[in-house]
Chains A and B, each alone.
Chain A
Amino acid sequence: MSRDLETIIKKYKSGRREDLIPLLQEIQDDQGYISEEMIVKVGGFLGLSTTKIYGLATFYDQFRFVPEGKIRIKICNGTSCFLNGSRGVINKIKEETGIRAGQTSRDGNLSYEIVTCMGGCNNGPIIIVNDEYYPHIKPEQIPDLLKKLRYIIEND
């Protein structure tokens, strides 16, 4: 894991604060989340205290501090999807999974987040599961979909 960080860090010069966000983004793209260890290491590299980095990372929506689930769901809650009933979908997913947006389920299988506009406005409400689009999704389809996804994960 730390070797990955070495390869990422090589691209940046040490001590430049403006590289903090791209560096964190790259770590997250690589590992799926930002661990405590990474924050400490980035702090050492850029000469910043860990509280500064943590303070910055929590300000932005993008960064997460727990690993993503194997099933990653993104639910669009842009205006168009909202008008077409995205709230019902969000509530249903919340109810079915028992976790809130941004959290990961205890078994590490599932996480979901709410995003605003994914560019599929005439197909709303729309969700993305592991990079696959599900247009015109209805709340009543959610339980079956989750069951199917869980089945695939468990038998993989």
Chain B
Amino acid sequence: MEDLKKFLTSKVLLFEADTLPAETEKVLRQIRREKTDNAVILISSGTASIIAGSEKTWSAVNSYIDDNEPGTDLVRVGCTGPANFEPLLSIQLPGKNKLFFRNITEEKVEPLLNGVFHNDINKDDLVGQHGGRGFELWPGIPFIEEMDFFRYQKRVILGNCGCYDPENIEEYIAHGGYRAFVKAIRHYTYEEVCNIIEKSGLRGRSGGGYPTGLKWKQALNTSSSVRYLVCNAKESDPGAFTDRTILESDPHRLVEGVAIASYAIGAASAIIFFRRGSEHARQRLQKAIDSAREYGLLGSNIFSSGYKLDITIRKEPGAFVCGEETALISTLEGKRGMPQLKPPYPTSAGLFGKPTVINNVETLMNVPLIMQNGPEWYRKLGTQNSPGTKVFAVAGKGRMSGVIEVEMGTTFRTILEDIGDGIKEGKKFKAIQIGGASGSFITSENLDTAIDYEEMRERGVGMGAGGFVIIDEDTCMVDLVRYYMEFMRNESCGKCIPCREGTGRMLEIMESVIRKPSDDDSGTTLERFKGVMQLETIASVMKDTSLCGLGQTASNPFMSALKNFREEFEEHIFDRKCRANICRGLRTFSIDVDKCTGCTACASKCPVNAIYGTRLQPFFIVEEKCIGCGVCYDICKFSAITVK
């Protein structure tokens, strides 16, 4: 192990020329498991895989190897992408292309491996073969690169995900890792690194799209003896899991990105602000930091360059608003996470009053790649104004789900129809929600919008952090907006009035819209109408007058839904109807007298005793008493209960 460390340090990390000699490359190929005498089995091990049962699969494979094929290498790798294929298992026989199998739960292990080792492959669970590296092909098996899910993607940031063992620094170095960082600290000045990033046109991936190189320069040019780099790995949007997947699959590249960024601004300490609840990812990241320190890539006088850096992980204590830069700084200082007025911007006076750069995970993941391949290479990806790629976490009602990466300029339609493979169960598409709780909706008219900061801004859509939730016709937009409003109401920090009162008031009005109407109380009806008239005003006041991004964007889902689904709101308000049959308060049920057998199942389960009748005679529902819970609908065996 010590020898390997010495070898990698002297022959790879400290090697001056870009191309390594063939001799070194041969050893690296072995570390990368491209040239082995034994079979290699790789099992994905992200959160999504563990939920699907990958650890049980791992044990099953392990005991199979012990019994039947000793010598086979068994490795845990990160996520390859498609979450609905988990647990994903891939096998590489010596000299042959890697084969991918999907949904391999423990009971499938034995027949599958028997088949593979005796040349009788079960095609049912097969996804395809990984081609293009000069190995022997499997005849008659499709290439995974040609599958729609991968064909339309451009996996740059996710390039390493699912390819190597995330807990093994040697493998990362063998994949070309840390060379860019070592080169930067040995040969470039702070300004030169900033210049390279500025030239590449990299923009912050958190939504605003601020040029990263410029941000770094602002911090670098503020005179101070201490500067800080903060990596925002908070990712608190409901329904976003890109950072988590990246960190579980490729934590070393983030460490390298953080290290290069810290060097570029001359920071001696970097903090990774971590999401609570992603314990698995945090352990992997901590391990990556520890092994980087062992290799002398962190600490004092790194590789005799005189540069000193340490990275610490801080767990966020749970507040959505801490994703905002100034609130994040307050939290790190041990205060309540409330935002401050800007300016001064964190780049001039941030953590403890010192210049601080805050970048998110995806932005920093780009940095080692730009340093390796040069800014011109990066410029060629994506569009003129938005170079590079964008990572999305596709979830919701699509047929495929998981973490994907596309080149900037790709349309939403491509992601939805080609990569996502359309909607589950043949349902109709309604909208895509991007940008998390303060994001907006993309409807079928806007599907051809390209993913590009400027083009999206023109259409009034924010880029967001990477949530990509596919919504089908079974979802009620009013209810969904109410859900987001409730989330925002809970997360508003309470510092400024428009946000604190506005989110609460908007939620109240949304709730009154979906509540069951009562005939005798004309007062509430009047209140409701008055409220509805004011919804738009409240939303625009919040947008104009709130202190921070949370309040300014809290009304986005409402505004966007109102613009695109006005008729659905009007139906709820005027006709008291919910077309998706989601809003409980607006549902009424009735019993079909021809179908009802009088079995009393519904009457005995009704929580408010609204169903009456005589045994073996058709029953009936008293509408005034019904609360629309749907218990009777679910329990009826004769489909006698219908929704009005």
B residues 327-377 in Cβ contact with A at 8 Å: 331-337, 352
B64 touches A (CB below 8 Å) = no
User: Do A18 and B47 form a contact, CB below 8 Å, given A82-B483, A116-B236, A119-B278?
Assistant: no
A79 to B467: give the CA distance in the assembly, Å. Answer: 9
Judging by beta carbons under 8 Å apart, are B83 and A61 in contact? no
Contact with B along A49-90 (1 / 0, CB 8 A): 000000110011111000000000000011110110000000
Tell me the complex Cα distance, A24–B83, Å: 35
Chain A nearest CB from B334 CB (Å) reads 4
Q: State whether the Cβ of A146 lies closer than 8 Å to any Cβ in chain B.
A: no
Alpha-carbon distance between A120 and B493 when the two chains are bound, in angstroms: 28
A135 in complex: contacting residue of B51, B317, B395, CB < 8 Å: B51
**In terms of DSSP, what is the predominant structure of the interface of chain B?**
mixed
Take A60-B337, A78-B239 as given contacts and tell me if A121 and B245 are in contact as well, using a CB distance cutoff of 8 Å: no
Known contacts A61-B318, A80-B469, A83-B469; A116/B238 CB under 8 A: yes
Please tell me the size bucket of the interface on A: 35 or more
Q: Which residues of A contact B396 (CB under 8 A)?
A: 79-80, 83, 121
A105 at the interface (CB under 8 A from B): no
A68 to B395, CA, bound (A): 31
Q: A19-B334, A21-B331, A116-B487 are in contact. Are A122 and B84 (CB under 8 A)?
A: yes
Q: Give A51 Cβ to nearest chain B Cβ, in Å.
A: 13
Contact among A22, A115, A117 for B239, CB-based, below 8 A: A117
Q: Are B244 and A119 in contact (CB under 8 A)?
A: yes
Give the residues from 272 to 309 in chain B that come closer than 8 angstroms, CB to CB, to chain A. Answer: 276-278
Collect the chain A residues with CB atoms within 8 Å of residue B46's CB: 119
- Chain B positions within 8 Å of A55 at CB level: 336
Q: A25 and B51 in contact (CB under 8 A), knowing A83-B469, A121-B83? A: no
| CB <8 Å contact, B395 and A79 | yes
Within 22-70 of B, Cβ neighbours of A (below 8 Å) are at: 46-48, 50-52
Within the complex, what minimum Cβ distance (angstroms) separates B404 from chain A? 13
Secondary structure at chain A's binding surface: helix, strand, loop or mixed? helix
Assembly CA distance A24 to B318 (angstroms): 13
Bound: A122/B475 CA distance, A = 16
- Chain B 236-250 against A: per-residue CB contact (8 Å), 1 yes, 0 no? 111111001100000
Residues of A within 8 A of B393 (CB): 121
Contacts A17-B334, A21-B334, A121-B393: A115 and B319 contacting too (C-beta < 8 A)? no
B401 contacts the other chain (Cβ, under 8 Å)? Answer: yes
Indicate if the CB atoms of B48 and A82 lie closer than 8 Å: no
Q: In the complex where A21-B331, A21-B334, A62-B276 touch, is A82 in contact with B238 (Cβ < 8 A)?
A: yes
Cβ contacts under 8 Å, A116 to chain B = 236-239, 487
Provide the residues of chain B in CB contact with A140, threshold 8 Å.
634
**A77 x B238 contact (CB < 8 A):** yes
CB distance from A38 to the nearest CB of B (A): 15
Provide the residues of chain A in CB contact with B475, threshold 8 Å: 83
Q: Does B314 reach chain A (CB closer than 8 Å)?
A: yes
Query: What separation, in Å, do the CA atoms of A16 and B352 have in the docked complex?
Result: 12
B315 is an interface residue with CB less than 8 A from chain A: yes
By the criterion CB–CB under 8 Å, are B319 and A118 in contact?
no
User: How many whole Å from A95's CB to the nearest CB in chain B?
Assistant: 9
Determine whether the beta carbon of B319 is less than 8 Å from that of A121: no
| Least CB distance, B284 to chain A, in whole angstroms | 13
A126 within 8 Å of B by Cβ? yes
A62 to B469 Cα, complex, angstroms: 26
Asked if B471 lies at the interface with its beta carbon under 8 angstroms from chain A, I say yes
CB distance from A17 to the nearest CB of B (A): 4
5 additional contacts, CB 8 Å, given A61-B319, A62-B276, A122-B84?
A79-B436, A80-B396, A83-B480, A115-B277, A119-B241
Residues of B within 8 A of A (CB): 46-48, 50-52, 83-84, 236-241, 244-245, 276-278, 314-315, 317-319, 331-337, 352, 393, 395-397, 401-402, 433, 436-437, 467, 469, 471, 475, 480, 483, 487, 493, 634
- Can you list 11 A-B contacts with CB-CB less than 8 angstroms, sorted by A residue number? A17-B334, A18-B333, A21-B314, A56-B335, A59-B493, A63-B318, A78-B239, A83-B469, A116-B237, A120-B47, A133-B50
Closest A-B pairs by Cβ, 3 of them: A79-B239, A61-B318, A121-B395
